[in-house]
Structure 1
């Protein structure tokens, strides 16, 4: 599976929960994530990857620019694994949802994650329940996540108003890969409104093919919306941009 991910350019969702892949399997998946540009959702819960596996995944997050959802529940990840993940969050700008439920992160692991979130503004959903973390350590993390979510919500409001303030909020760290309540991205919204200037600006910010392949709740890409809405110039732009990658 890991080897195939290195060359696959179409798979966006992979669920490997409960397969006992262990740290060796996690290492293999992590290596593929360093070069894969299509996968946006990865579920690795109940795989006993431990700190070593978490460390490998964390290293891949420093270079991967397509993954937006990562689920690592029940994987025996301790403080060392949490520290590695925290370091990756300082540089990763695509991940918006991280689930670390029921691991062994503890207070010190939580402190490391809190420090990383002082510079990370793209993560808007983080589950740390069941990790033996005291309330005093969880509170600052929850406050930062709320701040990030507020920035994301403001960005979606700007997108719906066809307001170029969206670009300013992206400059502040809101993830380009953020998805709203119906899983529409900023590119979906700009396309549906026929805002070609904003579409161009968004495409210039991401040369990763995964950005254009993100699906909303109706399994539509931005290109699908352009064709559906009769926005021919935008459809041509998205087609040309796709061909150039």
Structure 2
């Protein structure tokens, strides 16, 4: 007990030793009483501080130790506890959520959108986001799938062609494609062939297109647009549509539909290639459209095939189309152009300085019409290089003129196609003349009671110098001979050996009939004519007798 008491006494004495200086004077650090406290060798905070896992904090001293600290000490080195850090509650409550920024190629955005919409990503589209073309023909893409694709393509700068041929798209898909084209100016070709978007889909697709400056080619063939859809296209053209090449074939568009483009073309017409094939442009309204289109300074190619175009009035508008300064290709095949219409169309060929191809195939042109076209093309002022007249029959004059043209220096490389040559056609198979005469021979020889021979009848008519006989008279002669021939067969015989024809009746040429009969049956001839019977000699006058002389004498007296 004594030893313990003495030890405690010594410690107390050391701690409570009176100071030789005033409390207001700051003591040197080595004399601070707090430094005499024994610090454990394994201080947890010290170890954490050395590892960079503990921060002493802001410098505020815990209120518990202020009373035992000197008033002159501003910072306690070991008992300064840090404040609790905000785990993110303030940021979550007062600041908006940070947006996730995806790369411009759209691959990560596409996967995230498909994950959010619970859609299966399309691998071909995902890989195509890094290529020039995305080809999804016949892929059966749904409207929800189109939405995810449109979101991924909004800021893509790589894809130039987007092909959705024969994917049936509804109004929602058309809307998302239009929204995508609001921000994407990199896509040059959009192919929607056979997507059946209809007029309502055209409305949603074309509404934002006037704000797009990148799309150049738009294929809307086989989409059942109709005249109602043309109304929405006309409105987009009026507001500044920048598309250069548009394909509207197979859309059941009539003249009323194309007429709606006439008014917008007065203020804006940037089309260079227009395809209106396989529609109904022949109906009223097409004249105003063609007349306004002829004022275009950008048109390079126009396809009006399979539209039943005909008539002289419509051909006048087609004639003005040739005045477009940049026109290179005009396709008028498979229509009903002929005669005066062809003459009107080719009248301005010499003024079409850029025209390279003119297609008039499968029109009902006569050989004379074809010759007129070629005569016009022969002119040195016409720069045409390809003239297509497929299924148009020509005559020998056409071939001779074509041969002379190819001998010319300016026309030696011209390409001209045509159907067949009228004069060089050689029939094959049985001769119709032989068939009819065989039939007549069979019917006339069948009767045993009254057999007749058509060859002898014809020879007899020629012998009587009756070379040209009307069909009615020839039928009467056949019936009088007793030949069992019906009227139709006799008329067919007359058409096979025709004679001069008048406005009132037809004739048969007996000389042609006899000429063929002599080659077919050379042994048949008329029986020889018997020599004429000698005329009976006149009886001599009776001799005068004596009795008669006496009678005469008596009378005189």
SS, match of residue 218 in structure 2: strand
Counterpart position of 2:277? 101
Deviations, residues 61-90 of structure 1 (Å, cap 9, x unaligned): 123352110100011112321111222223
**How much has 1:138 moved relative to structure 2?**
4.3
SS, match of residue 4 in structure 1: helix
Determine if contact 2:294/2:323 at 8 Å carries over to the other structure. no
- Relative distance call for 1:142 and 1:120 in structure 2 (3 A) is same
1:46 aligned to 2:245? no
1:86 aligned to 2:240? no
1:27 aligned to 2:203? yes
**How much has 1:46 moved relative to structure 2?**
0.3
Once residues 73 and 152 of structure 1 are traced to their aligned partners in structure 2, the CA distance between those partners, rounded to angstroms, is 22
**Selected match of 1:112 from 254, 274, 288:** 288
SS, match of residue 85 in structure 1: coil
**How much has 1:28 moved relative to structure 2?**
1.3
1:152 aligned to 2:326? yes
- Relative distance call for 1:139 and 1:38 in structure 2 (3 A) is same
- After TM superposition, the structure 1 = structure 2 runs for residues 222-241 of structure 1, keeping only pairs within 5 Å, are none
1:136 aligned to 2:312? yes
User: TM-score scaled to structure 2, two decimals?
Assistant: 0.26
Q: Which has the higher helix share?
A: 1
Counterpart position of 2:182? 6
Counterpart position of 1:185? none
Deviations, residues 76-108 of structure 1 (Å, cap 9, x unaligned): 112321111222223223211111111122242
Determine if contact 1:124/1:146 at 8 Å carries over to the other structure. no
Tell me the matched-pair count: 153
Counterpart position of 1:73? 249
Structure 2 residues not aligned, in runs of 5+: 1-176, 329-355, 357-557
Counterpart position of 1:201? none
SS, match of residue 262 in structure 2: helix
- Relative distance call for 1:135 and 1:126 in structure 2 (3 A) is farther
**Selected match of 1:123 from 295, 299, 309:** 299
Once residues 263 and 309 of structure 2 are traced to their aligned partners in structure 1, the CA distance between those partners, rounded to angstroms, is 19
**How much has 1:126 moved relative to structure 2?**
1.7
**How much has 1:9 moved relative to structure 2?**
1.2
Once residues 144 and 120 of structure 1 are traced to their aligned partners in structure 2, the CA distance between those partners, rounded to angstroms, is 11
RMSD of Structure 2 on Structure 1 (CA): 2.2
SS, match of residue 298 in structure 2: coil
Determine if contact 1:17/1:47 at 8 Å carries over to the other structure. yes
Question: Which of 1 and 2 has higher RCO (CA within 8 Å, sep 6+)?
Answer: 1
Counterpart position of 2:238? 62
- After TM superposition, the structure 1 = structure 2 runs for residues 173-212 of structure 1, keeping only pairs within 5 Å, are none
Counterpart position of 1:177? none
**How much has 1:123 moved relative to structure 2?**
1.9
Instruction: Show structure 1 runs of 4+ deviating over 3 A.
Output: none
Once residues 37 and 75 of structure 1 are traced to their aligned partners in structure 2, the CA distance between those partners, rounded to angstroms, is 26
Deviations, residues 168-217 of structure 1 (Å, cap 9, x unaligned): xxxxxxxxxxxxx9xxxxxxxxxxxxxxxxxxxxxxxxxxxxxxxxxxxx
Once residues 144 and 124 of structure 1 are traced to their aligned partners in structure 2, the CA distance between those partners, rounded to angstroms, is 14
Once residues 11 and 134 of structure 1 are traced to their aligned partners in structure 2, the CA distance between those partners, rounded to angstroms, is 39
Determine if contact 1:90/1:116 at 8 Å carries over to the other structure. yes
Once residues 219 and 292 of structure 2 are traced to their aligned partners in structure 1, the CA distance between those partners, rounded to angstroms, is 22
Counterpart position of 1:217? none
- Relative distance call for 1:52 and 1:145 in structure 2 (3 A) is same
Q: Indicate the structure (1 or 2) with the bigger Cα radius of gyration.
A: 2
- Relative distance call for 1:120 and 1:134 in structure 2 (3 A) is same
Once residues 316 and 215 of structure 2 are traced to their aligned partners in structure 1, the CA distance between those partners, rounded to angstroms, is 31
Counterpart position of 2:193? 17
Determine if contact 1:21/1:49 at 8 Å carries over to the other structure. yes
- Relative distance call for 1:44 and 1:58 in structure 2 (3 A) is same
